[in-house]
Copies of this chain bind each other. A is one copy, B any other.
Protein backbone atom coordinates (compact mmCIF):
# COMPACT_ATOMS: atom_id res chain seq x y z
CA UNK A 1 0.00 0.00 0.00
CA UNK A 2 1.56 3.21 -1.15
CA UNK A 3 0.62 6.18 0.99
CA UNK A 4 -1.89 8.52 -0.60
CA UNK A 5 0.47 11.46 -1.00
CA UNK A 6 3.12 9.42 -2.72
CA UNK A 7 0.63 7.59 -4.95
CA UNK A 8 -0.81 10.87 -6.20
CA UNK A 9 2.63 12.28 -7.08
CA UNK A 10 4.62 9.17 -7.90
CA UNK A 11 5.87 10.29 -11.32
CA UNK A 12 6.84 13.77 -10.19
CA UNK A 13 8.53 12.29 -7.12
CA UNK A 14 10.52 9.82 -9.21
CA UNK A 15 11.66 12.47 -11.62
CA UNK A 16 12.81 14.60 -8.69
CA UNK A 17 14.97 11.63 -7.61
CA UNK A 18 16.73 11.26 -10.93
CA UNK A 19 20.26 10.02 -10.44
CA UNK A 20 19.63 9.08 -6.82
CA UNK A 21 19.56 5.38 -5.84
CA UNK A 22 16.17 4.07 -4.64
CA UNK A 23 14.23 0.84 -4.40
CA UNK A 24 10.66 -0.38 -4.09
CA UNK A 25 11.66 -4.04 -4.27
CA UNK A 26 9.35 -5.56 -1.61
CA UNK A 27 11.87 -7.76 0.21
CA UNK A 28 14.37 -4.94 0.39
CA UNK A 29 11.76 -2.42 1.46
CA UNK A 30 10.49 -4.83 4.13
CA UNK A 31 14.01 -5.36 5.49
CA UNK A 32 14.82 -1.66 5.47
CA UNK A 33 11.57 -0.77 7.25
CA UNK A 34 12.40 -2.83 10.32
CA UNK A 35 14.85 -2.94 13.21
CA UNK A 36 15.33 -5.17 16.28
CA UNK A 37 11.99 -4.23 17.89
CA UNK A 38 11.27 -7.98 18.00
CA UNK A 39 13.21 -7.96 21.30
CA UNK A 40 9.86 -6.74 22.61
CA UNK A 41 6.78 -8.96 22.43
CA UNK A 42 4.80 -5.74 22.89
CA UNK A 43 6.31 -3.97 19.87
CA UNK A 44 6.31 -7.00 17.57
CA UNK A 45 2.55 -6.91 16.72
CA UNK A 46 2.56 -3.09 16.54
CA UNK A 47 5.47 -2.71 14.12
CA UNK A 48 5.89 -6.04 12.33
CA UNK A 49 3.84 -5.03 9.28
CA UNK A 50 4.99 -1.43 8.86
CA UNK A 51 6.57 -0.68 5.48
CA UNK A 52 8.00 2.29 3.66
CA UNK A 53 6.77 2.90 0.12
CA UNK A 54 10.24 3.53 -1.16
CA UNK A 55 13.74 3.44 0.27
CA UNK A 56 16.09 6.15 -0.99
CA UNK A 57 19.89 6.04 -0.67
CA UNK A 58 21.35 9.53 -1.04
CA UNK A 59 25.07 9.91 -1.56
CA UNK A 60 25.63 13.41 -0.30
CA UNK A 61 24.10 16.63 1.04
CA UNK A 62 22.92 17.76 -2.41
CA UNK A 63 21.00 14.52 -2.91
CA UNK A 64 19.50 14.73 0.58
CA UNK A 65 18.30 18.23 -0.21
CA UNK A 66 16.68 17.07 -3.46
CA UNK A 67 14.86 14.21 -1.75
CA UNK A 68 13.74 16.47 1.09
CA UNK A 69 12.47 19.14 -1.23
CA UNK A 70 10.33 16.61 -3.09
CA UNK A 71 9.02 15.16 0.18
CA UNK A 72 8.06 18.59 1.48
CA UNK A 73 6.43 19.48 -1.84
CA UNK A 74 4.22 16.39 -1.78
CA UNK A 75 3.98 16.04 2.03
CA UNK A 76 5.58 12.61 2.04
CA UNK A 77 6.76 11.24 5.42
CA UNK A 78 10.52 10.72 5.77
CA UNK A 79 12.03 8.24 8.22
CA UNK A 80 15.81 8.24 8.49
CA UNK A 81 17.63 4.93 8.84
CA UNK A 82 21.16 3.95 9.83
CA UNK A 83 21.99 0.26 10.19
CA UNK A 84 18.68 -0.59 11.86
CA UNK A 85 20.29 -2.03 15.00
CA UNK A 86 17.92 -0.22 17.37
CA UNK A 87 15.37 -2.13 19.45
CA UNK A 88 12.50 0.33 19.74
CA UNK A 89 11.27 0.84 16.21
CA UNK A 90 13.27 4.06 15.90
CA UNK A 91 13.57 3.69 12.10
CA UNK A 92 10.26 1.95 11.40
CA UNK A 93 8.06 4.15 9.15
CA UNK A 94 4.65 4.21 10.83
CA UNK A 95 2.96 6.03 7.96
CA UNK A 96 4.81 4.67 4.96
CA UNK A 97 6.48 7.19 2.68
CA UNK A 98 10.23 7.40 2.29
CA UNK A 99 12.84 5.60 4.31
CA UNK A 100 16.00 7.64 3.89
CA UNK A 101 18.80 5.11 4.24
CA UNK A 102 22.06 6.95 4.87
CA UNK A 103 24.38 3.96 4.49
CA UNK A 104 26.17 5.54 1.55
CA UNK A 105 26.94 8.75 3.45
CA UNK A 106 29.72 7.17 5.46
CA UNK A 107 32.74 9.40 4.94
CA UNK A 108 34.95 10.05 7.95
CA UNK A 109 35.64 13.68 7.13
CA UNK A 110 38.39 14.54 9.61
CA UNK A 111 40.00 12.87 12.56
CA UNK A 112 42.56 14.17 15.06
CA UNK A 113 43.50 13.51 18.70
CA UNK A 114 40.29 13.61 20.73
CA UNK A 115 38.00 14.56 17.86
CA UNK A 116 36.28 13.21 14.74
CA UNK A 117 33.81 14.56 12.20
CA UNK A 118 31.96 12.05 10.06
CA UNK A 119 28.85 11.47 8.01
CA UNK A 120 26.01 9.65 9.75
CA UNK A 121 26.34 6.40 7.81
CA UNK A 122 29.90 5.84 9.03
CA UNK A 123 30.00 2.63 10.99
CA UNK A 124 31.23 2.93 14.58
CA UNK A 125 33.72 0.10 13.97
CA UNK A 126 35.11 1.91 10.94
CA UNK A 127 35.58 5.14 12.89
CA UNK A 128 37.31 3.19 15.64
CA UNK A 129 39.60 1.49 13.16
CA UNK A 130 40.75 4.83 11.80
CA UNK A 131 40.91 6.45 15.25
CA UNK A 132 43.02 3.63 16.67
CA UNK A 133 45.74 4.49 14.17
CA UNK A 134 46.30 7.73 16.10
CA UNK A 135 45.73 6.17 19.56
CA UNK A 136 42.09 7.15 20.01
CA UNK A 137 38.63 5.60 19.87
CA UNK A 138 34.97 6.54 20.27
CA UNK A 139 34.06 7.20 23.90
CA UNK A 140 30.79 5.28 23.90
CA UNK A 141 29.78 2.22 21.92
CA UNK A 142 26.62 0.12 21.80
CA UNK A 143 27.03 -3.66 21.81
CA UNK A 144 26.10 -3.48 18.11
CA UNK A 145 29.25 -1.47 17.33
CA UNK A 146 30.31 -3.77 14.51
CA UNK A 147 27.36 -2.80 12.34
CA UNK A 148 25.77 0.29 13.93
CA UNK A 149 26.22 3.72 12.35
CA UNK A 150 27.19 6.94 14.08
CA UNK A 151 24.01 8.73 13.03
CA UNK A 152 21.76 5.93 14.23
CA UNK A 153 23.59 5.74 17.55
CA UNK A 154 23.17 9.47 18.18
CA UNK A 155 19.54 9.46 17.05
CA UNK A 156 18.50 6.54 19.25
CA UNK A 157 21.34 5.40 21.51
CA UNK A 158 22.13 6.67 24.95
CA UNK A 159 25.26 5.00 26.30
CA UNK A 160 27.03 1.67 26.37
CA UNK A 161 30.57 0.40 26.53
CA UNK A 162 32.52 3.36 27.93
CA UNK A 163 29.66 4.79 30.01
CA UNK A 164 31.58 3.88 33.18
CA UNK A 165 34.28 6.35 32.00
CA UNK A 166 32.39 9.01 30.06
CA UNK A 167 28.73 8.86 31.11
CA UNK A 168 26.07 9.20 28.44
CA UNK A 169 25.55 10.57 24.95
CA UNK A 170 23.26 13.18 26.50
CA UNK A 171 26.03 14.52 28.76
CA UNK A 172 27.58 17.80 27.73
CA UNK A 173 30.74 17.17 25.77
CA UNK A 174 29.89 13.72 24.40
CA UNK A 175 28.37 15.04 21.14
CA UNK A 176 29.95 18.22 19.85
CA UNK A 177 28.21 19.36 16.69
CA UNK A 178 25.75 18.31 14.01
CA UNK A 179 24.90 19.49 10.52
CA UNK A 180 21.14 19.17 10.05
CA UNK A 181 18.88 19.41 7.01
CA UNK A 182 15.45 20.87 7.70
CA UNK A 183 12.13 19.93 6.10
CA UNK A 184 11.02 23.43 5.31
CA UNK A 185 9.68 24.50 1.89
CA UNK A 186 13.18 25.71 1.24
CA UNK A 187 15.23 23.17 3.17
CA UNK A 188 18.08 24.68 5.16
CA UNK A 189 21.35 23.21 6.28
CA UNK A 190 22.02 24.18 9.92
CA UNK A 191 25.17 23.71 11.98
CA UNK A 192 24.32 23.03 15.63
CA UNK A 193 27.19 23.38 18.11
CA UNK A 194 27.62 23.04 21.87
CA UNK A 195 24.35 22.81 23.78
CA UNK A 196 22.41 23.31 20.53
CA UNK A 197 23.05 19.67 19.62
CA UNK A 198 20.69 18.58 22.41
CA UNK A 199 17.85 19.61 20.11
CA UNK A 200 18.51 16.58 17.88
CA UNK A 201 20.31 14.27 20.34
CA UNK A 202 18.29 11.08 20.85
CA UNK A 203 15.32 12.41 18.88
CA UNK A 204 14.83 9.39 16.55
CA UNK A 205 15.32 11.66 13.56
CA UNK A 206 11.99 13.37 14.26
CA UNK A 207 13.32 16.91 13.99
CA UNK A 208 15.95 17.19 11.32
CA UNK A 209 18.13 14.97 9.18
CA UNK A 210 21.62 14.77 10.63
CA UNK A 211 24.11 14.69 7.75
CA UNK A 212 27.37 15.30 9.65
CA UNK A 213 28.42 14.79 13.27
CA UNK A 214 31.33 15.91 15.40
CA UNK A 215 32.22 13.60 18.27
CA UNK A 216 34.89 13.65 20.96
CA UNK A 217 37.24 10.68 21.07
CA UNK A 218 38.61 8.80 24.04
CA UNK A 219 42.23 7.81 24.39
CA UNK A 220 42.74 4.17 23.52
CA UNK A 221 44.30 2.21 26.36
CA UNK A 222 46.04 -1.11 25.81
CA UNK A 223 42.83 -2.93 26.68
CA UNK A 224 42.55 -6.39 28.18
CA UNK A 225 39.46 -8.57 28.51
CA UNK A 226 38.51 -10.71 31.46
CA UNK A 227 35.78 -13.07 32.62
CA UNK A 228 35.38 -13.50 36.37
CA UNK A 229 32.94 -15.93 37.98
CA UNK A 230 31.44 -15.83 41.46
CA UNK A 231 29.42 -18.37 43.42
CA UNK A 232 27.46 -15.61 45.18
CA UNK A 233 25.57 -13.11 43.04
CA UNK A 234 25.95 -10.22 45.47
CA UNK A 235 29.73 -10.78 45.53
CA UNK A 236 29.71 -10.39 41.74
CA UNK A 237 27.58 -7.25 41.95
CA UNK A 238 29.66 -5.70 44.72
CA UNK A 239 32.87 -6.51 42.90
CA UNK A 240 31.55 -4.71 39.84
CA UNK A 241 30.38 -1.68 41.78
CA UNK A 242 33.71 -1.52 43.64
CA UNK A 243 35.65 -1.77 40.38
CA UNK A 244 33.56 1.13 39.09
CA UNK A 245 34.37 3.16 42.19
CA UNK A 246 38.09 2.37 41.95
CA UNK A 247 39.36 5.57 40.39
CA UNK A 248 42.81 4.09 39.83
CA UNK A 249 41.57 1.07 37.87
CA UNK A 250 40.58 2.01 34.33
CA UNK A 251 37.82 -0.20 32.94
CA UNK A 252 35.51 0.64 30.05
CA UNK A 253 33.11 -2.24 30.59
CA UNK A 254 31.83 -3.83 33.82
CA UNK A 255 28.97 -6.15 32.92
CA UNK A 256 27.38 -8.35 35.61
CA UNK A 257 25.22 -11.37 34.86
CA UNK A 258 23.26 -13.41 37.38
CA UNK A 259 22.92 -17.10 36.66
CA UNK A 260 21.36 -18.42 34.41
CA UNK A 261 22.19 -15.54 32.03
CA UNK A 262 25.76 -16.86 31.58
CA UNK A 263 24.27 -20.11 30.30
CA UNK A 264 23.00 -18.16 27.26
CA UNK A 265 26.53 -17.10 26.22
CA UNK A 266 27.19 -20.08 23.97
CA UNK A 267 30.59 -18.93 22.71
CA UNK A 268 31.84 -18.22 26.24
CA UNK A 269 30.93 -21.58 27.78
CA UNK A 270 34.56 -22.76 28.19
CA UNK A 271 35.03 -19.86 30.64
CA UNK A 272 31.77 -20.09 32.58
CA UNK A 273 30.76 -22.36 35.44
CA UNK A 274 27.41 -23.95 36.11
CA UNK A 275 25.32 -22.05 38.70
CA UNK A 276 27.95 -19.27 38.78
CA UNK A 277 27.44 -15.59 38.13
CA UNK A 278 29.74 -13.84 35.68
CA UNK A 279 31.33 -10.41 35.34
CA UNK A 280 32.71 -9.41 31.95
CA UNK A 281 35.30 -6.63 32.01
CA UNK A 282 37.37 -4.67 29.52
CA UNK A 283 40.17 -2.88 31.36
CA UNK A 284 43.60 -1.28 31.07
CA UNK A 285 46.03 -4.18 30.85
CA UNK A 286 48.46 -2.30 33.07
CA UNK A 287 45.94 -2.82 35.87
CA UNK A 288 46.18 -6.62 35.67
CA UNK A 289 47.72 -7.16 39.13
CA UNK A 290 45.55 -4.66 41.05
CA UNK A 291 42.50 -6.11 39.33
CA UNK A 292 43.50 -9.60 40.47
CA UNK A 293 43.83 -8.23 44.02
CA UNK A 294 40.30 -6.84 43.81
CA UNK A 295 38.97 -10.15 42.44
CA UNK A 296 40.57 -11.98 45.36
CA UNK A 297 39.02 -9.55 47.82
CA UNK A 298 35.58 -10.52 46.55
CA UNK A 299 36.44 -14.24 46.24
CA UNK A 300 35.94 -14.35 42.50
CA UNK A 301 37.70 -16.62 40.07
CA UNK A 302 39.26 -15.37 36.85
CA UNK A 303 38.50 -17.85 34.08
CA UNK A 304 39.66 -15.84 31.09
CA UNK A 305 42.17 -13.04 30.74
CA UNK A 306 43.77 -11.75 27.60
CA UNK A 307 45.78 -8.73 26.59
CA UNK A 308 46.31 -9.79 23.03
CA UNK A 309 44.09 -8.23 20.41
CA UNK A 310 44.16 -11.43 18.38
CA UNK A 311 42.97 -13.52 21.29
CA UNK A 312 40.02 -11.49 22.50
CA UNK A 313 36.49 -12.81 22.72
CA UNK A 314 34.92 -9.43 21.90
CA UNK A 315 33.23 -9.48 25.28
CA UNK A 316 31.49 -6.21 24.49
CA UNK A 317 29.22 -8.16 22.16
CA UNK A 318 27.80 -10.12 25.13
CA UNK A 319 26.84 -7.01 27.08
CA UNK A 320 24.31 -4.19 27.08
CA UNK A 321 21.46 -5.02 24.67
CA UNK A 322 23.40 -7.91 23.14
CA UNK A 323 22.93 -9.86 26.37
CA UNK A 324 19.23 -10.01 25.52
CA UNK A 325 20.08 -11.02 21.94
CA UNK A 326 22.03 -14.04 23.21
CA UNK A 327 19.33 -14.92 25.73
CA UNK A 328 16.64 -14.78 23.04
CA UNK A 329 18.76 -16.97 20.74
CA UNK A 330 18.27 -19.71 23.35
CA UNK A 331 14.72 -18.86 24.35
CA UNK A 332 12.69 -16.46 22.15
CA UNK A 333 10.22 -16.08 24.98
CA UNK A 334 12.71 -13.94 26.88
CA UNK A 335 12.57 -10.17 26.79
CA UNK A 336 14.11 -7.42 28.90
CA UNK A 337 13.93 -4.21 30.90
CA UNK A 338 16.06 -1.10 30.91
CA UNK A 339 16.54 0.59 34.26
CA UNK A 340 18.95 2.55 36.42
CA UNK A 341 19.38 1.93 40.12
CA UNK A 342 20.11 4.87 42.41
CA UNK A 343 23.78 5.22 43.32
CA UNK A 344 24.27 3.12 46.45
CA UNK A 345 27.58 1.41 47.29
CA UNK A 346 25.62 -1.18 49.29
CA UNK A 347 23.44 -2.17 46.30
CA UNK A 348 20.48 -2.81 48.59
CA UNK A 349 17.87 -2.47 45.83
CA UNK A 350 19.86 -4.75 43.55
CA UNK A 351 19.86 -7.39 46.26
CA UNK A 352 16.16 -6.91 46.95
CA UNK A 353 15.17 -7.45 43.34
CA UNK A 354 17.63 -10.29 42.82
CA UNK A 355 15.95 -12.13 45.68
CA UNK A 356 12.38 -11.01 44.97
CA UNK A 357 11.82 -12.08 41.35
CA UNK A 358 14.26 -14.96 41.06
CA UNK A 359 14.52 -16.25 37.49
CA UNK A 360 11.44 -14.38 36.27
CA UNK A 361 13.60 -11.21 36.21
CA UNK A 362 17.24 -12.26 35.81
CA UNK A 363 19.61 -9.52 36.89
CA UNK A 364 21.94 -8.09 34.28
CA UNK A 365 23.77 -4.96 35.42
CA UNK A 366 26.04 -2.56 33.59
CA UNK A 367 28.07 -0.37 35.94
CA UNK A 368 28.09 3.21 34.63
CA UNK A 369 28.77 6.75 35.64
CA UNK A 370 25.68 8.90 35.80
CA UNK A 371 25.98 12.59 36.76
CA UNK A 372 29.39 11.90 38.27
CA UNK A 373 28.23 8.93 40.35
CA UNK A 374 28.92 5.24 39.87
CA UNK A 375 25.60 3.43 39.52
CA UNK A 376 24.31 0.12 38.16
CA UNK A 377 22.05 0.11 35.12
CA UNK A 378 19.79 -2.92 34.91
CA UNK A 379 19.03 -4.62 31.61
CA UNK A 380 17.17 -7.42 33.33
CA UNK A 381 16.25 -10.45 31.22
CA UNK A 382 12.58 -11.22 31.75
CA UNK A 383 10.62 -14.44 31.20
CA UNK A 384 7.67 -12.93 29.37
CA UNK A 385 4.14 -13.99 30.24
CA UNK A 386 1.78 -11.07 29.53
CA UNK A 387 2.11 -7.38 28.80
CA UNK A 388 0.21 -6.68 32.03
CA UNK A 389 2.74 -8.61 34.06
CA UNK A 390 5.59 -6.79 32.30
CA UNK A 391 4.01 -3.42 33.15
CA UNK A 392 3.46 -4.60 36.72
CA UNK A 393 7.16 -5.46 37.12
CA UNK A 394 8.26 -2.10 35.68
CA UNK A 395 5.81 -0.31 37.97
CA UNK A 396 7.17 -2.21 40.97
CA UNK A 397 10.76 -1.21 40.18
CA UNK A 398 9.73 2.38 39.64
CA UNK A 399 7.90 2.50 42.96
CA UNK A 400 11.21 1.60 44.59
CA UNK A 401 13.02 4.55 43.02
CA UNK A 402 14.53 2.70 40.08
CA UNK A 403 14.39 4.70 36.83
CA UNK A 404 12.75 2.77 33.98
CA UNK A 405 13.56 3.36 30.31
CA UNK A 406 10.78 1.31 28.79
CA UNK A 407 12.03 -0.63 25.75
CA UNK A 408 8.49 -1.75 24.95
CA UNK A 409 7.32 1.46 23.29
CA UNK A 410 8.25 3.15 20.05
CA UNK A 411 7.24 6.57 21.39
CA UNK A 412 10.39 8.65 21.94
CA UNK A 413 9.41 10.16 25.27
CA UNK A 414 7.77 7.04 26.71
CA UNK A 415 10.96 5.05 26.29
CA UNK A 416 13.36 7.53 27.74
CA UNK A 417 12.91 10.31 30.22
CA UNK A 418 9.08 9.97 30.24
CA UNK A 419 8.88 13.71 29.96
CA UNK A 420 8.29 15.79 26.89
CA UNK A 421 11.37 17.80 25.92
CA UNK A 422 10.18 21.27 24.84
CA UNK A 423 13.62 21.97 23.35
CA UNK A 424 13.20 19.11 20.89
CA UNK A 425 9.53 19.80 20.19
CA UNK A 426 10.20 23.47 19.52
CA UNK A 427 13.05 22.55 17.23
CA UNK A 428 10.72 20.22 15.32
CA UNK A 429 8.20 23.08 14.92
CA UNK A 430 10.94 25.10 13.34
CA UNK A 431 12.57 22.56 11.04
CA UNK A 432 9.69 20.19 10.28
CA UNK A 433 6.60 22.40 10.13
CA UNK A 434 4.54 19.73 8.34
CA UNK A 435 5.45 16.98 10.77
CA UNK A 436 6.88 14.79 8.03
CA UNK A 437 9.87 13.42 9.93
CA UNK A 438 9.35 9.97 11.48
CA UNK A 439 5.68 10.70 12.20
CA UNK A 440 4.01 9.12 15.20
CA UNK A 441 7.15 8.88 17.32
CA UNK A 442 7.35 12.21 19.21
CA UNK A 443 4.58 12.53 21.77
CA UNK A 444 5.36 16.19 22.40
CA UNK A 445 4.46 16.98 18.80
CA UNK A 446 0.79 16.09 19.26
CA UNK A 447 0.47 16.88 22.96
CA UNK A 448 2.03 20.30 23.37
CA UNK A 449 -1.26 22.08 22.80
CA UNK A 450 -2.19 24.86 20.42
CA UNK A 451 1.28 25.87 19.37
CA UNK A 452 2.00 22.28 18.41
CA UNK A 453 0.25 19.98 16.00
CA UNK A 454 2.34 20.82 13.01
CA UNK A 455 1.69 24.55 13.01
CA UNK A 456 5.06 26.23 12.83
CA UNK A 457 5.09 29.34 15.05
CA UNK A 458 8.32 30.50 13.41
CA UNK A 459 6.85 30.99 9.95
Q: Which residue of B lies closest to A217 (CB)?
A: B286
- A247 partner residues in chain B, CB cutoff 8 A: 165-168, 171, 174, 369-372
* Interface segment out of the listed A33-41, A288-296, A319-327, A386-394: A288-296
Contact indicator B166/A114 (Cβ below 8 Å): no
| Chain B residues with CB under 8 A of A372 | 244-247, 373-374
User: Which of B114, B249, B369 has a CB less than 8 Å from the CB of A173?
Assistant: B249
Please state if B289 and A248 are interface contacts (CB–CB under 8 Å).
no
Given A172-B294, A176-B289, A373-B373: A216 and B166 interface contact (C-beta under 8 Å): no
What 0/1 pattern do residues 275 to 302 of A give for CB contact below 8 A with B? 0000000001111011111100000000
Q: Is the CB of A250 within 8 A of B173?
A: yes
Q: Which residues of B contact A373 (CB under 8 A)?
A: 245, 372-374
Residue of B nearest to A291 (CB): B173
Q: Is A265 interfacial (CB-CB < 8 Å)?
A: no
Q: Are A194 and B245 in contact (CB under 8 A)?
A: no
Chain B residues near A453 (CB, 8 Å)? none
CB-CB contacts below 8 Å: A35-82 with B: none
Give chain B nearest CB distance to A137 CB in angstroms.
Answer: 11
Q: Does A195 contact B (CB under 8 A)?
A: yes
Does A135 make an interface contact (CB < 8 A)? yes
Contacts of A292 in B (CB 8 A): 194
A222 located at the interface, meaning its Cβ lies under 8 Å from any Cβ of chain B in the complex: yes
Per the bound structure, the CA–CA distance linking A452 and B59 in Å amounts to 78
Residue numbers of A with Cβ under 8 A of B are: 113-115, 135, 139, 165-168, 171-174, 176-177, 193-195, 216-217, 219-222, 244-250, 284-287, 289-294, 369-374
25 contacts between A and B (CB under 8 A): A113-B135, A113-B221, A113-B222, A114-B221, A114-B284, A114-B285, A114-B286, A115-B286, A165-B247, A167-B247, A167-B248, A168-B247, A172-B294, A173-B248, A173-B250, A173-B284, A174-B247, A176-B289, A177-B289, A194-B293, A216-B284, A219-B221, A244-B372, A245-B371, A245-B373
Given contacts A166-B248, A195-B293, A247-B371, 8 further A-B contacts (CB under 8 A): A113-B135, A113-B222, A167-B248, A171-B247, A172-B248, A172-B290, A176-B290, A372-B374
Q: 9 tightest A-B contacts by CB?
A: A167-B247, A219-B219, A245-B372, A173-B248, A171-B248, A174-B248, A194-B289, A173-B249, A173-B290
